[in-house]
Amino acid sequence: MSQEYVFGWHAVEAILKREPERLQQVWIQSGRQDRRVRVITDALDGLGVRWQVVHRRELDDRVAGVHQGVVAAVSESREWSEGDLAALIEGLDRPPFLLVLDGVTDPHNLGACLRTADAAGVHAVIVPKDKSASLTPVARKVACGAAETVPLVRVTNLARCLRGLQELGVWLVGTAGEATTSLYQADLKGPLALVMGAEGKGMRRLTREHCDLLVTIPMHGHVDSLNVSVATGVCLYEAVRQRLG
């Protein structure tokens, strides 16, 4: 069975809560005896999942990143496809709310975007298979469990996927610094996919051309752009504000 590692308390707890069948083994750093450890080890015992107390060096050798004293070996997560996306949208009882990340290659940014997407109630995050970060252990750690709750849909052809979304009645709103419409002037209440560009370069030309509307985030200081995960948070929560209203 193929295997991957998840580390950090939030990420491991999310697997334990939502997908316990994927857990294969857990390693916990020696010296921890707090309630959080007891809760997890009791749950693992109940599931019959092997766990072991080890020296920090073994955790450091197993994963690259701040593991917080816990690492889990899990079976590989399900990969969502373009076909799954259409079925997901058609099964919703409310207007779809999607996030598209075009060429976001930093796993920290992917994890942060997933975490915000989960908090905002996004139904799925869409990324291209090429030139995009994957769900590495680092991305999962930064996502704080959101990687286990928000479907990450990897598509072979992003432009084709965007056309398919439009055919399903989804309005595509992209962000671009040169846009003349402010984010706060856009109507974000209906079936919506927010399209965010890569760090530094923004959206690719074909992606931009498929958007129904381009908006900009007003910038009043000396810097001319925001980190993609910060910009994603700003845009998603403006949509949340409008949709709540």
Helix (H, G, I), strand (E, B) or coil at 77: coil
Element (H, E) at 99: strand 97-102
Instruction: Find out whether 197 is annotated in a ligand binding site.
Output: yes
Q: Are 103 and 131 in contact (CB under 8 A)?
A: yes
Instruction: Find out whether 226 is annotated in a ligand binding site.
Output: yes
Q: Are 107 and 142 in contact (CB under 8 A)?
A: yes
139 C-beta neighbours (distance < 10 Å), count: 24
For residue 44, CA distances in Å to 16, 37, 55, 94, 211 come to: 8, 10, 20, 36, 46
Q: Are 124 and 80 in contact (CB under 8 A)?
A: yes
Helix (H, G, I), strand (E, B) or coil at 156: coil
Per the annotation, binding residues for S-adenosyl-L-methionine are: 197, 217, 226
Per the annotation, binding residues are: 197, 217, 226
